[in-house]
Amino acid sequence: MSKMASLTLFLSLQVAAASAVTQGHSEVTEKSITVYPRVLESREDGSEKVLIVHEGYSLHLKKASILARRLLLRDVTKDGVIEQYVDGTHYERHLYEDTNKKASLLLKPTEHGDYFITGLVNFTHRIEPAKFRERSSTRRAAHKIVQIHNIQGSCESDQVIESDTREASLPEVEMRGAFAQNFGVELHFISDYNHTKYFEGDKDAHTYYVTLFLHSVSLRMDQLDPPVPIGITKIQMTSSTDNENYVELWNNGDLIGNETLKVLNDVVQKEQAYQKADAVYMATGREMITLIPGGKSSYILGTAGSAQACTDKKAAVGEDKPGKFSGVNTAAHEIGHLLGSPDDSKGKWGDCETKDGYLMSEYAYGKRAFTFSECSKKAIAHFVSLEKSACLKTKTECPILSFPNKALKLPGHAMSGDAYCKLFYSGFPRAFFLEQFYAFLKKCKIPCLVEDKRTKKPRFLTTLAPDGTRCDQHDRRRVCKNTICV
């Protein structure tokens, strides 16, 4: 690719919202450029990095969090549902964000001392390691940057009768600290069969993708006032159609939008597995259709009930091409409906119109496609102030963790300081917790010493301490909360 073409793409990255492109349901030929990103690490703070994607375009990254510490993975198979609780901190140990440029990235250390980078560099472009893994003269790994093609179509709000708020006696779901405030959406995510099969049984890859997908959705929710962050409590995969009882299909296999929403809400209402969630979102890899007199229309991307978070009609459905992040904006739109925002129009919340192209427009487009209108912000702010949204205000508490004593007591097992460093820096041959640098814990940073595989030399790195980590040798009551010793 010519230097001019490369420059053009990176100019589009810097004015990302203005370069949004929509496509139809047919496959599009992806155009990409090859880059050799470089990561600069702070010697004092391993939780912050600078990612130089390309000359003239860099990201200032900080550690991010969106997963419940005790994350439930569910797999709907032909023999029934298999459930497994996993450590959410493990899956987000390489998760970083740039909230200004709206980046959601996984930076996985490699044996060569650099990183494999996957995710979204902003709302319009994604990055992934190049297939053939070639390297530059500086031995940095090749990556490709690809524009995210948002599928063309409309998002709908299914106007259903509002139900009573869920029972207040339901047990709380323990979060890792994904919420920096006292409320947010605890989300149960579902991949339908077509969405699941893309990952070919690789549950780790599937979980990482969902983490990045919903983190990018959550960055969009940060625009709200107050912000409404998302925390993932359950990820549900569908490995077989035998027990996929939450979809309604056309005779050619297309997914019928409103009928699927109805049966999904019925399942959510009846089955205990969904009761604790504030909202349920299903991503479908099928083409979504709506029935019309005399046939069907495929000009639909998603559907959700209006102001139905916290009720027994709290589900939403949207299209996504797995691996492509094409459905992130659709997910944000449908969750916006669940939080009380109608499609943009003149009315109670102001003089917004769908032609303005904002995120909650029926047809979002142009540089406003990733932004909530003032009408949407007012509607959602009103909803979260109501008693019916009480589930969003559930406060969570983290268990007391302990360093450097026996343990970081994660659910189901205990983890020493050494074990935590080895887990977090698993890309290095050796990693140790530096007990003598306990002072770092007062800043809620965990000091680790790692061995560089290529040079064999030691490197000093730190990572943010999980919420609940003891951070004061003299006062055992003080623990880390949102990276502050309190």
Where does 18-120 have alpha helices with state H?
Answer: 88-91
Place of tokens 């994607």: 53
β 143-147/288-292 pair status: unpaired
Q: Is 311 left (phi over 0), alpha (psi -120 to 50) or beta?
A: beta
Stated as kind and residue range, the H or E segment containing 3 is helix 3-14
Which of 382, 392, 372 shows the shortest CA–CA distance to 224?
A: 372
Structure tokens at 380: 């959602």
Q: Please, are residues 283 and 206 in contact by the beta-carbon 8 Å criterion?
A: no
- For 31, phi and psi rounded to 5 degrees? -105, 135
Q: Catalytic: 134? A: no
Q: Please, are residues 469 and 402 in contact by the beta-carbon 8 Å criterion?
A: yes
Q: Please, are residues 229 and 222 in contact by the beta-carbon 8 Å criterion?
A: yes
Listing DSSP states for 390-413 in one string gives: GGGG----PPPB-SSSS-EEETTE
**Helices (runs of H) and strands (runs of E) counted in the chain:** 8, 31
Distance between CA 256 and CA 151 in Å, rounded?
17
Distance between CA 236 and CA 206 in Å, rounded?
10
Place of tokens 């959601």: 104
Structure tokens at 45: 């703070």
Q: Please, are residues 332 and 221 in contact by the beta-carbon 8 Å criterion?
A: yes
Distance between CA 376 and CA 348 in Å, rounded?
11
Sign of CA dihedral 472, 475, 479, 484: negative
Which of 374, 375, 357 shows the shortest CA–CA distance to 366?
A: 357
Choose the catalytic residue: 186, 244, 334, 397.
334
Structure tokens at 296: 């069907």
Distance between CA 157 and CA 334 in Å, rounded?
7
Q: List residues with catalytic annotation.
A: 334
